[in-house]
Amino acid sequence: MISELIKESQLFKSIVKDRLSKRLSHAYLILGEDTETRKAFVNEISLYLMCENGGCMECKTCAKVMARTHFDLIFLNEDGKLKTDDLNQLIDYVYIKPAEAEYKLVFIDNADGLSDNIQNKLLKLYEEPPESVIIFMLARGEAGILRTIKSRAKTQYLPIFSSKEIYQELLEEGVEENTAKAAAIISGGQFDRAYLFSNQEGYLEMYNSCVDLLMNLKKSQDVTEYIGSKLFEKDKIEVTLDYFQIIFKDVLVYISKSNCEYATIGRECDIKEIADGFNEGGVALAILSIVKAKMMLKANVSNQSVAESLMLQILEDKYKSKI
């Protein structure tokens, strides 16, 4: 269970330790990209801090926490649309003592997207923290968080799981074995990516299309043919680049005869075919080219230009392998 994994994490244990030593901070800044792990953490820490028995899952309090109807819990900015008005309400609310539990917990999600204006308003809470209130600010990374807020919060990181842990979890949830294996390796330790890959048939199909494309990309004329591929559409290209990277890592595993596991399941022959003509250096260059393409995308270069230059670059990286 993901909840069990959370409870075994350093993050969770350190907050338990803070509580036991009566050193809970008034504010925590929890950093990590994985949205599923973030959700699970919010659940588990609420249960732990609200329930008299540390999250027994049997009492009324636990039921209220799970249903998100507990009066002493507040969730903000889950949709990323927090307004100044909401904050005024929050400030009124936090200065009232907890109604039922020992603490009042405030969760502010997607904090790295909050405007400076809103963060400055929140700062009041950080400067004069009301008693019994704990603010958990959750963000992907610390970029975008005001220094004044950071300095008043205790920074902690969400756990990153091993592919084995993710694989086990997916199996327990009934995901088919091969899909679970591929999803776990592709996840990079993040549950949100693993779920995306394993729950939506489209993603597995998309992965296979990426293998097909790389297998058939042999000469520069092919680039013209593939540039209009669905894989490079605006809402797909990011995932496509992730998949390309994973496929080339498999190619590297093949060429270097390393005993790492393949992420691509059941298509080992096709990985061999993609590898044909590459040497280790060439594959490393191709992986770098993909990283560069991701940066171009972030810098708002059009998806078609990114796709075109990447495919040409991959062909060139292969060509360099031969000289």
Binding site for Zn ion (CB under 5 A): 51, 56, 59, 62
Nearer to Zn ion, 51 or 114 (CB): 51
Smallest gap from Cβ 102 to Zn ion, in A, equals 13
Nearer to Zn ion, 1 or 301 (CB): 1
Exposed / middle / buried, residue 304 (Cβ in 10 Å: 0-12, 13-18, 19+): middle
Smallest gap from Cβ 48 to Zn ion, in A, equals 10
Smallest gap from Cβ 59 to Zn ion, in A, equals 4
Nearer to Zn ion, 44 or 317 (CB): 44
Smallest gap from Cβ 100 to Zn ion, in A, equals 12
Nearer to Zn ion, 54 or 80 (CB): 54
Nearer to Zn ion, 62 or 135 (CB): 62
Nearer to Zn ion, 44 or 250 (CB): 44
Smallest gap from Cβ 74 to Zn ion, in A, equals 19
Smallest gap from Cβ 63 to Zn ion, in A, equals 8
